[in-house]
Amino acid sequence: MSETYEEKAARLDAADGLAAYRAKFALDEETVYLDGNSLGALPAHVPARMAEVITREWGELRIRSWDESGWWTAPERIGDRIAPIVGAAAGQIVVGDSTSVNVFKAVVAGARLAGEGRDEILVDATTFPTDGYIAESAARLTGHRVVPVDPEDIAGAAGSRTALALVNHVDYRTGRLRDLPGTTAALHAAGALAVWDLCHSAGALPVGLDAHGVDLAVGCTYKYLNGGPGSPAYLYVAERHQAAFDSPLPGWNSHADPFAMTPGYRAAEGALRGRVGTPDILSMLALESALDVWDGVRIEDVRAKSLALTDFFLECVRAYVPGGRVTPVTPEAHAERGSQVALACPDAPAVMAELIGRGVVGDLRRPDVLRFGFTPLYVGFADAERAARILAEVLEKPAG
């Protein structure tokens, strides 16, 4: 007798080398949580750490904690913890502000680095909307012109007038993985800089910032890095660019001597130039604690499980869901797939609402895309099978 999909899921979960990490998260067994590509689950130890921060570091030590508890160095210290996850050496990532603010810093500073005669900023035409809005504002500030380009065509579109390209590593809507090494190399061949948005890839797959010569990169920490809602984002400035990195937001926290309080600005050395104002310490320390779950984890193992999970989910969807009711828009090819599966589905809002009501939590992008994010540290194969089975039940239910 052939193996059922439930049996296959049990076999795959039993052989999963990352399965034990699920216990590190505050999850219930009644819910299949497939929305970690929007908000990662809470690492179970973070509440105790935050209680310590609030009661002792803030409540007792108060102002002394900037030195005694290491608050002052948190942005670069946490950046160094994120660095190996995205393939960067220490000293190139600073944590703070939102993704949008860091996109602004990176695009303006990148335009200034590019030099005279390069007055075009290429922007991924399918980008998350805010990236486009920020790029337009940065272009107005610097006298550049934004050129929307299909991300598959950026290599051919880059030319002598290109200052930089702002590209999403993984498309937020479809889950398509872009060719970071090839695109970066093509931009460099044209004399331009590569600025990457890693929001949907960091913590889900190898990025290789240093290995592939990326110039600047930004990313959020509340998705696959599980830093919590609104947790601070990060900015990567390749070491070779740090001395010339000219931030459009030169705050006191990035001054070479912050407490001198001089009227003239003198930038700090290194990635610290990416700091602006006083860090959001509570969110930042929650993120630092959340990153403990990555101790001992290889990003290559995370990627292998991610691909196996998404393969299995698609296999179950094909087996369970009535023909023609959903259409995958996430590429089948591993080299083109992030860690989510997007399915085109008529009446997607109502379908997702029903799924959530039955304990399968994903999300959607209007008008017709269901999104299911697979976070390998806490999602298992039984979760994938159950989600596909319940999706089939929902789609088989008569309308009304």
Is 129 labelled a binding residue? yes
Pick the catalytic residue from 371, 381, 383, 386.
371
Is 58 labelled a binding residue? no
Q: List, in order, residues 6 or more apart from 266 with CB less than 8 Å away.
A: 255, 256, 257
Is 278 labelled a binding residue? yes
128 tagged catalytic: yes
Is 224 labelled a binding residue? no
Dist. CA 84–CA 87, nearest whole Å: 5
Is 130 labelled a binding residue? yes
234 tagged catalytic: no
| Contact assessment for residue 280 and residue 292, using Cβ atoms and an 8 Å cutoff | no
Q: List, in order, residues 6 or more apart from 214 with CB less than 8 Å away.
A: 180, 184, 194, 196, 236, 238
| Contact assessment for residue 214 and residue 238, using Cβ atoms and an 8 Å cutoff | yes
Pick the catalytic residue from 21, 222, 224, 320.
222
| Contact assessment for residue 169 and residue 201, using Cβ atoms and an 8 Å cutoff | yes
Dist. CA 378–CA 31, nearest whole Å: 12
13 tagged catalytic: no
Pick the catalytic residue from 21, 128, 245, 372.
128
| Contact assessment for residue 42 and residue 26, using Cβ atoms and an 8 Å cutoff | yes
Is 383 labelled a binding residue? no
* Phi, psi at 146, each rounded to 5°: -85, 130
Rounded to an integer, what is the distance from CA 192 to the centroid of its chain? 24
Pick the catalytic residue from 22, 105, 118, 223.
223
Instruction: Record the tokens describing residue 107, joined without a space.
Output: 């695009």
Question: In 3D, which of 186, 282, 150, 173 has the Cα closest to residue 227?
Answer: 282
222 tagged catalytic: yes
Is 69 labelled a binding residue? no
| Contact assessment for residue 394 and residue 18, using Cβ atoms and an 8 Å cutoff | no
Torsion of CA 286, 289, 294, 299, to 10 degrees: 30
Dist. CA 310–CA 384, nearest whole Å: 8
Is 259 labelled a binding residue? no
Alpha-carbon distances, residue 225 vs 160, 214, 400 (angstroms) = 37, 21, 39
Neighbours of 380 (CB within 10 A): 21
Using only the alpha carbons of the chain, give its radius of gyration: 22
Pick the catalytic residue from 16, 80, 124, 197.
197
- Name the binding residues: 99-100, 128-131, 197, 200, 222, 252, 278
- Name the binding residues for pyridoxal 5'-phosphate: 99-100, 128-131, 197, 200, 222, 252, 278
> Active-site positions?
128, 197, 222-223, 371
